[in-house]
């Protein structure tokens, strides 16, 4: 069972607790890709709008991805997300049969950056890598 994290997101004056397990966060990543771009130094940034209109952010750091042109992602929807438990490969099945595939780079040092990071609309940050390591924290707090 995942850790319960108070997200600070309020609904009718109540703070909502979120089961912030990696599987639940990945299962919640659904909706149209509003923006996809490459930033320096070769970091892919993707913004996804969920059914409530809230924004999810996915960024790679130490990983390769396909398709190579992020413009091909804009306008498609993320329908399903899968994570290979042995390789750490993140696969987002998109509308129209397309796939966004994020492959972690080989671990070179203990202080390598995460391979990718997902930030939910409520500010929960899920980091994957280097290696088969997960970290969940508030996006406004440093990861321990």
* Residue spans per domain, the chain: 22-138
pLDDT cut 70: percent of the chain above it: 82
Check residues 16 and 30 and name the one with the higher pLDDT: 30
Q: What are the helix (H) ranges across the chain?
A: 22-28
Helices and strands in the chain: count of H runs, count of E runs: 1, 12
Confidence (pLDDT) at 22: 86
Q: Identify the bridge partners of residue 126 per DSSP, sorted by sequence position.
A: 118, 136
The answer to whether the CB of 105 falls within 8 A of the CB of 63 is yes
| pLDDT classification of 2: cutoffs 50, 70, 90 | very low
Region 35-43 average pLDDT: 90
Q: Identify the bridge partners of residue 91 per DSSP, sorted by sequence position.
A: 82, 101
CA distance to 65, 72, 129, per residue, from 58 (Å): 12, 16, 14
């Amino acid at each position: 069972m995942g850790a319960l994290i108070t997200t600070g997101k309020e609904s009718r004056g109540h703070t909502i607790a979120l089961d912030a397990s990696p599987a639940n966060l990945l299962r919640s990543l659904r909706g149209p890709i509003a923006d996809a771009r490459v930033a320096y130094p070769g970091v892919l940034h993707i913004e996804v709008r969920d059914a409530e209109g809230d924004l999810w952010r996915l960024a790679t750091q130490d990983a390769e991805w396909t398709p190579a042109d992020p413009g091909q992602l804009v306008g498609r929807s993320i329908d399903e997300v899968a994570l290979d438990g042995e390789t750490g490969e993140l696969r987002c099945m998109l509308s129209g049969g397309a796939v966004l595939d994020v492959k972690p780079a080989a671990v070179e040092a203990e202080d390598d950056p995460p391979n990718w990071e997902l930030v939910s609309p409520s500010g929960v940050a899920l980091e994957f890598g280097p290696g088969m390591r997960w970290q969940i924290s508030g996006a406004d707090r440093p990861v321990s």
